[in-house]
C-alpha cells in the first residue's frame, strides 16, 4: 500500500500526473486544484490514497492529509465515486467544502459537473455531522438548534461540550439568502456571530443587521 510519493513531475494530463520516483513513473490521479500546483520538471510530494480493484490499481494524489481525508469522506457517500469526489475537490478547497456542507447548500454542490439534487442531498445529509467532528463549523440540528463545538462555558457554569442557539439562525440565514447572498456565505457569517456570542441570543433584526455588515466588507 502506497501512502506518499516524492519525486519529479514528468508530465500531466487533464486528470492525472506522472510522478517520476527514482526512475519509476507513477500515474497519480489528482483534482484540477492539485494539478494546477504541479509543474513539469519540478519536485513534488503527494499524499496517496491507493484503490485496489480486481481489474486495476489506482493511485489518487493530494496536496496534504486533510485533502485526502475529504476524499475518503466523499467517496463514502453512496453515488460518489473517486472521479466525482475529485471533481468536487477541484471546485472547493477544504474550507469551502466545510462551509458548503455545514450550510447544507445543495445548490452549491450541484454546480459541480455530474452532481444532481439527489446526490447533493446525500452529501450534505451524510457528511454534516462529520463537519462538526472535524471542528470546522457549528451545525444546525434537526430541532433547529445550533450546536457549537468547543464553545467556552459561561462563567460559573459547567461546559456540556456545546452551546445551543435557537432557530433564529435559520431565519437569519433565510433572510440573507433572500437578499441575494449565497446560503453558504450567509450561514458562515451568521454561525460566526453566534459562535462569538454563545451565551446570548440576539434579536433576529440585530442578527440580520450584523450579518449584512460583515457580508458587505
State the Cα–Cα distance between residues 160 and 27, nearest whole angstrom.
48
| CATH class of the 138-217 domain in this structure | mainly alpha
Please report which helix (H) or strand (E) contains residue 165, including its range.
strand 164-165
Please state the domain extents for the chain: 4-63, 65-135, 138-217
What are the residues facing 80 on neighbouring strands?
none
**What's the pLDDT score for residue 55?**
84
Closest CA to 58 of 78, 93, 90, 30: 30
Tens digits of residue pLDDT in 190-208: 877 877 776 677 778 888 8
Burial class (CB in 10 A: 0-12, 13-18, 19+), 158: exposed
The β-bridge relationship of strands 43-52 and 24-29 is unpaired
Per-residue pLDDT tens over the stretch 31-69 = 999 999 999 999 999 999 999 988 889 999 999 999 999
- Per-residue pLDDT tens for 133-192? 665 554 444 333 344 333 334 444 433 333 335 577 778 887 887 777 887 788 878 877
- Give residues with Cβ within 8 angstroms of 160, minimum separation 6: 153
Q: What angle do CA 74, 76, 78 make, to 5 degrees?
A: 95
**Which of 71, 45, 67 shows the shortest CA–CA distance to 58?**
71
Pick the CATH number of 4-63 from 3.90.230.10, 1.10.287.610, 2.40.50.140, 2.40.110.10: 2.40.50.140
User: In CATH, what number does 65-135 get?
Assistant: 1.10.150.20
Amino acid at each position: 500500500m502506497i501512502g506518499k510519493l516524492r519525486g519529479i513531475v514528468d508530465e500531466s494530463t487533464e486528470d492525472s500526473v506522472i510522478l517520476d520516483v527514482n526512475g519509476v513513473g507513477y500515474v497519480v490521479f489528482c483534482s484540477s486544484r492539485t494539478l494546477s500546483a504541479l509543474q513539469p520538471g519540478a519536485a513534488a510530494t503527494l499524499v496517496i490514497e491507493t484503490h485496489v480493484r480486481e481489474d486495476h490499481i489506482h493511485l489518487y494524489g493530494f496536496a496534504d492529509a486533510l485533502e485526502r481525508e475529504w476524499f475518503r469522506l466523499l467517496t463514502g457517500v453512496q453515488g460518489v465515486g473517486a472521479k466525482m469526489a475529485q471533481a468536487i475537490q477541484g471546485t472547493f478547497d477544504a474550507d469551502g467544502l466545510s462551509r458548503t456542507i455545514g450550510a447544507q447548500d445543495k445548490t452549491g454542490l450541484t454546480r459541480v459537473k455530474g452532481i444532481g439534487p439527489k446526490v447533493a442531498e446525500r452529501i450534505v445529509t451524510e457528511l454534516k455531522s462529520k463537519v462538526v467532528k472535524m471542528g470546522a463549523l457549528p451545525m444546525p440540528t434537526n430541532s433547529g438548534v445550533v450546536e457549537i463545538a468547543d464553545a467556552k462555558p459561561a462563567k460559573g457554569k459547567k461546559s456540556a461540550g456545546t452551546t445551543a442557539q435557537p432557530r433564529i439562525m435559520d431565519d437569519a440565514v433565510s433572510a440573507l439568502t433572500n437578499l441575494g447572498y449565497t446560503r453558504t456565505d450567509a450561514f458562515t457569517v451568521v454561525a460566526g456571530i453566534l459562535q462569538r456570542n454563545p451565551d446570548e441570543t440576539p434579536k433576529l433584526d440585530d442578527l440580520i443587521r450584523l450579518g449584512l455588515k460583515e457580508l458587505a466588507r
